Every structure is written in C-alpha cells, then in structure tokens.
Amino acid sequence: MARKNFRLLEEKMGTERIAASNARVEQMITEMPLNRVREARNLTQAHLASILHKDQSAISQMERRSDMYVRTLADFIKALGGELEIRANFPDGSVRITGLGEQKNLV
C-alpha cells in the first residue's frame, strides 16, 4: 500500500473535520482510564503492585473497578508519580474539592 503524506490528506479534510479530529485527540490525552494512565507512565501492573505492596491481580481489579475509595485511588495515582485532584465542574466554574483522602494530623 502506498504511503500518503499526512499533510495532503489533511488538506482534503476541511476545517470542520480537522477541528473535530483535534478535539478527539485532546479528549484522548486529557481523559484516560487507570490502565492507560499506568501504561502512559511506563509502569507494568507487577511494578505498580510492588510499589503499593499488593498482588498484581489486585492492580488489575483496581483498574477495572468503576467504584473505589478516594484514598485507594489517591495511593494508586501517587504510586504513578502524580497527585489526585478532585474537581466539581459547574456551568459557572469549577471548584477543587479538598479534604478527601488526605491524611489529617491530629496532633
């Protein structure tokens, strides 16, 4: 099959299709399920399991869950080198929710 120059194909698409394609790409970059986040951080389930002191099967189960504790999710993200941030989005703006899953010092 002959290779086509992407620029030539893009020129034929039109501005609306290009904009729609760019929007899909942006969404794919900013929204990912947990397994894709882990893969993007170049970690295997086994490596992440060793960081979290869990079995590889527990990581697999976490990645497939649609419901989990905030602390569990925060630990998962921290092990990937990130920080969990929860936001509530409203028509007039967004608010970062604090105090969830954060350990409090009671001293």
pLDDT, greater one: 14 or 28? 14
Which backbone phi and psi does 57 adopt, to 5 degrees? -65, -30
Q: Where are the domains of the chain?
A: 7-97
Q: Above 60 in pLDDT, residue 73?
A: yes
N residues, the chain: 107
Q: Above 60 in pLDDT, residue 7?
A: yes
Percent of the chain with pLDDT over 70: 88
Query: Tens digits of per-residue pLDDT, 26-48?
Result: 777 677 889 998 998 999 999 99
Cβ neighbourhood burial of 38 (10 Å; 0-12, 13-18, 19+): buried
Place of tokens 């397994």: 35
pTM of the model: 0.64
CB-based contacts of 38, cutoff 8 Å, min separation 6 = 45, 48, 59, 63, 80
pLDDT, greater one: 6 or 74? 74
Mean per-residue pLDDT over the chain, rounded: 85
> What is the assigned CATH class of domain 7-97?
mainly alpha
